[in-house]
Amino acid sequence: MTNEQIILFTIMGSVLGLLVWGRIRYDLVAFSALALAVIVGVVDKNTAFAGFGHPAVIIIALVLIVSRALSQSGAVDLLTRNIISAQRGMKAHIAIMGLVGGALSAFMNNVAALALLMPVDMQAADKAKRSRAATLMPLSFATILGGMVTLIGTPTNIVIAQFRGNATYNGQPIGDSYSMFDFAPVGLACAAVGLIYISLVGWRFIPQDKARSESAAELENLDGYVMEVQVPEDSPAIGQKVRDLLPVADENEVYVLGLIRRGERLPGSARSVEIRKGDILVVEAGPDSLEQFSNALKLSYSASSRHKGALTGTLAMTEAVVTSNSRLVGRSARDVRLLNRQQTMLLGVAREGHPFRDRVRQLELRAGDVLLLMGDKEALPDVVQWLECLPLAERGLQVTQREKAGFSIAIFAIAIIAASLGLVYLPAALAACVAIYALLKVITLSQIYEAVEWPVIVLLASLIPIGAAIESSGGTILIANAIVDVTGGWPAWAVLLLLMAVTMTLSDVLNNVATVLVAAPVAIKIAEQLNVNPDAMLMGVAVSASCAFLTPIGHKNNTIIMGPGGYRFGDYWPMGLPLEIIILAVGLPMILIVWPL
């Protein structure tokens, strides 16, 4: 092993380790690794930033913008409003939602598909008086499966397609990039069988304490928000001890967690402390329960007298979940100056399975946290959009221009058909689609920039040069040789199965784009060593890298539903493990049929 290979493997190994650790933003990790690789000389300075102009990066950004425009136009609402009904039974509801979610995610980013359908699913659960947890995980898995069907359904397919267009096999170019529907035979089979499993059997594996039937009121209250309310000078709570408030708290289904005095939280639950003017009670409750409790004791939502005039208009509350690309991730409400900038107050935070003692407005927020926000009723939807969070209210679909729905769908369909027939280069077709949307104001210029998940773009653009350097240095040959040596004497299909299983495992703990960038070059080298069809190996990587069903961190969709569904880290694998086994059982023979070794 050369010094260059040792350095590159060390850098990439450190990147993967930091991504699994998850304490540092993945885009910062990747960009820092690229900078280090250039400084130490293992990545050529002339090509260091070529990844930002890579076709895969451009296509992913354009797909995200198109997805946002379709949601803005009301195209998805046009499709779903007559399909979704709270009157259907559990299996029928999961099957229909899964089918719609899978179909949408085949032609738009699967994260966007989940964001559009999640509020609809939650409203249906509330009306039918059933658990949101019983249907949110099936919906998330369905949108992940649907993304496997087409080129633009998931970033992993886009990366694999572009990799094939630039890769060589035994010194010769493999051929053009994969086209729009090259993934369909294998992806559609896996998605269809996966959806059948999810609808008939899979949802039953969701832990019973999550999937049990609950009343609509219980679902609305959630019993999970940690909030702060101030004790003003006219509150009857003054002079009482915290434990004296328990009868009122119990009556209103509120749990008093502690007391804050002069900015510091007192030890324990402070049950024996006498309450004074200006103290802040830390409570756990739902929105309605908090309102009743606050009215009974004349408590104030504002933690500071200087903020009393910041909230204007008709006040209302709304719930929103922090997505992985939200401006709140790793920051607090105070950091983004939410109250001063947007005249909106963060009342509470629900973080399933992760207790915290930080002040609510000073709490460093994570993807999957559910927020309770209070502000002007008319402005709240715009505030949630500014925060890049997913609203959980009826207005969450953000449908604003229904009269442009048909037109938007037609323009998108023309672009896809033209690209599929080879008439127009796919990035150019999508770019033209975006330009038309912008010119006709289906989407604004500011929304175009907001729609792009810049952390994903930076991650991909930073790792592409590092991956290319590992390949050009002979590093992928070393990995491929090691796998071939370990599987010596195995038939080629068994090696492919092992590659798929390893890739699937990596995808459960890493970003799936990072997984593909590691696994795709190895797949080509294994194909060269075994003298088999490289397309079979690449398709194996594409299928398995898309399937992250065991953890909430493997795919953004699983992270998004964690808070609203009340899931814990270990709640995913009971339903996800059989699904991954099914994908292997269906995907491998389909690959061997469509892309013979």
Return d(Cα 319, Cα 315) in angstroms, integer: 14
Return d(Cα 580, Cα 592) in angstroms, integer: 18
What's the pLDDT at 214? 40
pLDDT in tens, 160-207: 999 998 888 888 888 889 988 999 999 999 999 999 999 999 988 987
What's the pLDDT at 77? 64
Q: Is 299 helix (H, G, I), strand (E, B) or coil?
A: coil
What distances in angstroms separate CA 389 from CA 66, 112, 535, one per listed residue? 19, 12, 38
What's the pLDDT at 357? 62
What's the pLDDT at 347? 82
Q: What is the DSSP letter of 241?
A: B
What's the pLDDT at 134? 87
Do 480 and 529 touch, CB atoms closer than 8 A? yes
Do 457 and 60 touch, CB atoms closer than 8 A? yes
What's the pLDDT at 79? 62
What's the pLDDT at 305? 42
Return d(Cα 573, Cα 559) in angstroms, integer: 14
Alpha helices in 234-337 (DSSP H): 246-251, 287-297
- Nearest alpha carbon to residue 114 among 59, 82, 154, 149: 154
Return d(Cα 160, Cα 156) in angstroms, integer: 6
pLDDT in tens, 432-468: 999 999 998 888 888 888 888 788 788 888 988 888 8
Q: Is 152 helix (H, G, I), strand (E, B) or coil?
A: coil
Looking at the DSSP bridge assignments, the partners of residue 226 are 284, 349
Q: Using 70 as the pLDDT threshold, list the residues of the chain that sit under it.
A: 74-87, 208-224, 302-315, 352-358, 393-403
Task: Show the domains of the chain with their CATH numbers.
Answer: 224-322+326-397 (3.30.70.1450)
Q: Which structure tokens are listed for 42?
A: 């293992």
Return d(Cα 364, Cα 119) in angstroms, integer: 25
Q: Is 190 helix (H, G, I), strand (E, B) or coil?
A: helix
Do 345 and 311 touch, CB atoms closer than 8 A? yes
Return d(Cα 216, Cα 341) in angstroms, integer: 34
Q: Which structure tokens are listed for 366?
A: 């994570």
Return d(Cα 502, Cα 545) in angstroms, integer: 9
What's the pLDDT at 80? 61
CA 391 remoteness from chain centre: 14
What's the pLDDT at 213? 40
The helix or strand, by DSSP H or E, that contains position 390, with its residue range, turns out to be strand 389-391
Return d(Cα 393, Cα 75) in angstroms, integer: 19
Backbone angles phi, psi at 285, to 5 degrees: -165, 170
Its pTM surpasses 0.85:
no
CA 367 remoteness from chain centre: 8
- DSSP codes, 213-226: ---HHHHHHTT-EE
Any idea what the Cα angle at residue 85 is, between residues 80 and 90, rounded to 5°?
Answer: 115
Return d(Cα 363, Cα 148) in angstroms, integer: 37
Do 468 and 521 touch, CB atoms closer than 8 A? no
What's the pLDDT at 396? 42
